[in-house]
A and B are shown apart, each in its own frame.
Chain A
Amino acid sequence: MVDPAAIIRTMLSEETAVTVAIAVLFIGAVAGYLVWRTTRNLLVQLDVPGAVEGTAFERTIQNFGLSTVGLFSQMAALFVYVLAVFIALQVAQIMNADLFWQRFPQYLPQLFIAAVVVIVGLVIGDKVSLAISERLKSVKLPEVTLLPKLAKYSIFYVAALIALGQLGVATMALIVLLAAYAFGLLFLSALAFKDLLTAAAAGTYLLLTEPYSIGDEVEIDDRRGVVQEIDVFVTHVESDEAEFIIPNQRVVRSGITRFR
């Protein structure tokens, strides 16, 4: 890779190099300000302030007098400033070409992305847990509060993985753990929802073809009565004494007798 700073240095005298460096600093300052403003406007237009409102992250940084949008735009601006300072320093050759400092500007974008991923992960995790607990509000069961937490920490975990990956940390073991976790979740939920899924598949067929409809007298599995309601999962059949709620897969499996 050709170092632009080196080219400038060979082309210019030392005094001019200093002048150029100052110009770079100045341009960096202006560009940083522009980036700050654009990011801020963009985020506000995308209604990010409304979206992050009430999340734990937003509340925490509000204690420090910041906001998520402000933090993001300041980070973007900071990124530009730091880059400008480094270019200027290299042009002016004030800093000696230490290996670490040479690599640092290349490392900067990754650091920046990692920071953004962490913040976005925190906000989305919070948001998801809020959304889930809102949906489960009507279920008055203490154990249900576990679900939003589980979703939240899963998202945190993935965000941390991505951020660490950006920084070049070896994350192989963590990825294996994630895969095992995802597989377990999939396997368990498939096992748990097996009956509901078959009922729904049968119910879809029953609703589409309507072999029997509300008001018909039918017999399913020795249960005879008038059909009162058909939904995706169950069929309600009512006789004089009782109302049978029959899972739809049983209707399909055992067949239906209709009476005229």
Chain B
Amino acid sequence: MSHIEDVLDSLASDLDGVVLFSPEADLYEQLTDDHEVVVISAEDERDAERFVELPVEFSELSDRVRFGIEGALAQEFLGENDQVLCLATTYGDSLDTAMRVRAGEFTETGVYDLFVNSRAEPGVIRNVVDVAVELGKKGQKGKPVGALFVVGDAGKVMNKSRPLSYNPFEKSHVHVGDPIVNVMLKEFSRLDGAFVISDGGKIVSAYRYLEPSAEGVDIPKGLGARHMAAGAITRDTNAIAIVLSESDGLVRAFKRGELILELDPEEY
């Protein structure tokens, strides 16, 4: 018995902070008394002083931890060399996981930066990721589809692309996150070309052929033309791109010409 307690004690000794992924009221109150607590969740229910918002429900704990720590580092809640204890729920609804990490242990992937420091509003990016994941899950009439969303810096993107056909969104005022949009995008996803979405979430155009210069774009080999276009447009403009792959069904996000995030829609 005492051995297990020793193990747990060694996890909890000399901590610089506690990162809480499932903020239960009494636990948060107890911990704040003698630790620096960072709360990471989808909603700030506790009005926590240090809070990082989770934009997507990462199903993998490691993704959640990575995003949370990157967010806490970016907001300077934690320092590079801080030893922190992550308390989270992996299965079920109550706290069941404790993990000790050094905050600077990961190579920075920029996931947090992608959501928070992009041109487009965080909520818009989140909605687009949701739409892409949804589309990946269900496909178009059961068949897998691919899609490319370019989010933010729409003026510049529009000037670096040309229409493949009439723009179905001309003079419409739909925004991502409107309930009707999922259906519309699903229908339009069978069209070729990219969707262009503005900083504020307005769907500016569908059916766009992107014409950025693909020089110096470094994306993993084996991805198709759609991903190359996504990588290139994000290097050329301040937009980010979210791609749903037709062949492997994964959702990928690009920023500044680099692959930042890879999600499997089946897991959400």
Contact = CB atoms under 8 A, between A and B. Distances in A.
B155 interface: yes
A132 B155 CA distance: 37
Nearest to A226: B155
Contacts of A236: 199
B128 to A, nearest CB: 16
A51 interface: no
Nearest to A236: B199
A214 B171 contact: no
A213 B173 CA distance: 11
Contacts of A214: 154-155, 158, 198, 202, 204
Interface in A227-253: 227-229, 231, 236, 238
A238 B159 CA distance: 13
A207 B158 CA distance: 18
B204 A215 contact: yes
A236 B159 CA distance: 16
Interface string A122-156: 00000000000000000000000000000000000
A215 to B, nearest CB: 3
Contact of B159 (A207, A210, A213, A215): A215
B200 interface: yes
Nearest to B156: A226
B153 interface: yes
A215 B161 CA distance: 10
A214 B208 CA distance: 14
Among A207, A213, A238, the most chain B Cβ lie within 10 Å of the Cβ of: A213
Interface residues of B, number: 15
Contacts of A215: 154-155, 157-159, 204
Interface in B76-105: none
A229 B153 contact: no
Nearest to B158: A215
Contacts of A228: 153-156, 198-199
A231 B200 contact: yes
Contact of A229 (B157, B159, B171, B198): B198
Contacts of A217: 159
Given A214-B198, A214-B202, A215-B204, A227 B155 contact: yes
A214 B248 CA distance: 33
A73 to B, nearest CB: 35
Contact of A210 (B154, B171, B198): B171
A52 B157 CA distance: 51
Nearest to A231: B200
A229 B154 contact: yes
A226 B159 contact: yes
Contacts of B157: 215
Interface in B130-177: 153-159, 170-171, 173
Interface string A207-227: 100100111110000000011
Interface string A193-213: 000000000000001001001
B204 to A, nearest CB: 5
Given A207-B173, A210-B171, A229 B200 contact: yes
A132 to B, nearest CB: 19
A245 to B, nearest CB: 12
Contacts of A216: 155
Given A214-B202, A216-B155, A228-B198, 5 more contacts: A213-B170, A226-B159, A228-B156, A229-B200, A238-B156
Which 10 pairs from chain A and chain B are nearest by CB? A215-B158, A226-B155, A228-B155, A214-B204, A214-B154, A215-B155, A229-B198, A229-B200, A210-B171, A227-B155
Interface of A: 207, 210, 213-217, 226-229, 231, 236, 238
Interface of B: 153-159, 170-171, 173, 198-200, 202, 204
19 contacts: A207-B173, A210-B171, A213-B170, A214-B154, A214-B158, A214-B204, A215-B154, A215-B159, A215-B204, A217-B159, A226-B155, A227-B155, A228-B153, A228-B154, A229-B154, A229-B198, A229-B200, A238-B155, A238-B156
